[in-house]
Each structure stands twice: as structure tokens, then as C-alpha cells.
Structure 1
Amino acid sequence: MTIAELSIFASVMLYLLTILPAKWISARQAGRFDNSRPRDPGFYDGGIRERVLGAHQNGIEAFPFFAAAVLLAEFREAPQNLINELAVLFLIVRTAYVLTYVGNRPTLRSILWAIGFLITVAIFFLPLIRNYLPV
């Protein structure tokens, strides 16, 4: 497996692990989280739990395009080292995005979202420009 392919898995783990602390911490605090109703909207009302849910949902939304871009770039034989580097950079940016989302930093969060999206676009178009790359 390539580093980029492992980054697809890491991307899934990132959005899954984003929601886990809110549920786990709340479950330990007087049973606030009810696992029989894991999607109860009342649980996510306001504060950090609402931001964690938003970061989690955005991770789910960003994943399909990222995964498709990585696989397309690999199938169309774009430079693998560049795909790997961009995929890892995407994960770094997405991790920072989650932290700014949870930390309630909306401007920085939006900037990081845009950077992550542009990285995915770059991966997607690597096959188109591979002949022009010095790699």
C-alpha cells in the first residue's frame, strides 16, 4: 500500500475519532450520552459538542472527494511521491481544521478548510499536469 492509500484510511479514522471524545467524556459524566440514541440532536445542542459534531460531519463530507482524488491520481499514474506528500499534507491540514473547529476559531477554520480543498483539487488534477511536472 502507498502512503496516500494509508492516508485514505487515516482520513476515515480522523473523522471517527473527532466525535469519540464528546461521546466518551459525556458517557462518563452522569450518563449524559445515551448509546441507545446516538444521534439524539439534543445531545449536541450548543458548546463544544455541537462543534465536535460539525467537525465530524465535515470530515464525512470531505472524505469522498479526497479518496476519489487519491485513487484517480494513482490509477492515472501521477507521480506517486507527490500524491503521497499531498495526501499527508491534507491530513495535517484536516487535523488542524478539526482543532480549530473544536477550539471555536471560525476564520482560521475556514482558511484551513479552503487549503484542504485545494490540496484535494491538486491531487485530483495531478494526472492532467503530470507531464509538466519536474518530478
Structure 2
Amino acid sequence: MTTPLICLVIVAVMPYIYAGIGVYYRSRLPGGVDNKHPRQQITQLQGPGTRVYAAQQNAWEALAIFTVAMLVVHLRQAPEPQVSLFAELFVAARVTHGFFYIKNWDVFRSLAFATGLVCVISMLWISW
């Protein structure tokens, strides 16, 4: 199950990538990055900066459900070719979801979210 595990690592790293992007937007605020009160500083962000942090929170949520799916897939010894396809599609959906979130393309973001959800459900169905 190499490909699904690689996908799990990618999904696990994504919230940290968004956090790094968020630091860029925080650094543009008056006074720069406030590392003593980062959550308070996030409330001062507007536009893309706010959406980056929302994408980060959503990435954490997606990691939880994807991790559960990977655990079920592994324990049930689901067929790797099918699982790999849905895991790769999930990663693609999550990458585009974050991009669409930051760009404020809400309809595309929702479609990317739905695609990722269908991928997780499909992996669980295959494992059934």
C-alpha cells in the first residue's frame, strides 16, 4: 500500500503548508508576525489571509477522515489499485480545494470538497 501511504503523508503535510502561507499574510500586517498571540493576529486578517487559515482548518478536518479511511483500508486489506486511484484523486481534490479556497472560488471549492468526500466514501465502500 505504498501509494495510499504516500498520499496520507501528503495530506498530513498540507495543513503545515497552509500555516506557512498564512505566516506570509500575517507578516504583512502592521508590526509583522506576532508569535506571542498568533490566534489573535489571525482575526486581524482579511481576504486571502483569512481564507488561508480557513483552508488550513479544513485541511486538518480532511486529514482526520482520510486517516480513518486509510486505517480501514489497511485493516480490511482492500485492493491496492482501486484504493490508490481514490487516494490520488483525494489528494488532487484537496490541493485544488485549498487553491480554490484562497482564491475565493466558492463553487469550485465545494466541488473539490465533494470530490474528496466521494473518494473517501469510495475507499470505505471498497473495504466493505
Provide the TM-score with structure 2 as the length reference. 0.89
**Deviation readout 1:1-32 (Å, 9 max, x if unpaired):** 61111211110111210121120354377642
Mark the runs of 5 or more structure 1 residues left unpaired by the alignment. 129-135
The farther-off stretch of 75-84 and 40-49 is: 40-49
Alpha-carbon distance in structure 2 between the residues aligned to 1:41 and 1:115: 32
| In the alignment, structure 1 residue 65 sits paired with structure 2 residue 65 | yes
Deviation at 1:45, TM superposition (A): 3.2
The farther-off stretch of 118-127 and 38-47 is: 38-47
The farther-off stretch of 96-105 and 4-13 is: 4-13
Question: In structure 1, the residue corresponding to 2:38 is in which secondary structure?
Answer: coil
Q: Would the alpha carbon gap of residues 104 and 29 (structure 1) be closer, same or farther in structure 2, given more than 3 Å must change?
A: same
Deviation at 1:36, TM superposition (A): 1.5
Equivalent position of 2:52 in the other structure: 52
Question: In structure 1, the residue corresponding to 2:70 is in which secondary structure?
Answer: helix
Matches within 5 A, 1:19-58: 19-24=19-24, 26-27=26-27, 31-58=31-58
Which residue type is aligned with residue 126 of structure 2? L
Alpha-carbon distance in structure 2 between the residues aligned to 1:87 and 1:70: 9
| In the alignment, structure 1 residue 7 sits paired with structure 2 residue 24 | no
Alpha-carbon distance in structure 2 between the residues aligned to 1:3 and 1:97: 21
Equivalent position of 1:119 in the other structure: 119
**Deviation readout 1:48-94 (Å, 9 max, x if unpaired):** 11100111001111111111111211210110121112111101110
Equivalent position of 2:108 in the other structure: 108
Question: In structure 1, the residue corresponding to 2:78 is in which secondary structure?
Answer: coil
Matches within 5 A, 1:68-79: 68-79=68-79
Mark the runs of 5 or more structure 2 residues left unpaired by the alignment. none
Provide the TM-score with structure 1 as the length reference. 0.85
Conserved? CA contact 1:43–1:49, under 8 Å = no
The farther-off stretch of 27-36 and 3-12 is: 27-36
What value does the CA root-mean-square deviation take over the aligned residues? Answer: 1.9
Alpha-carbon distance in structure 1 between the residues aligned to 2:17 and 2:109: 18
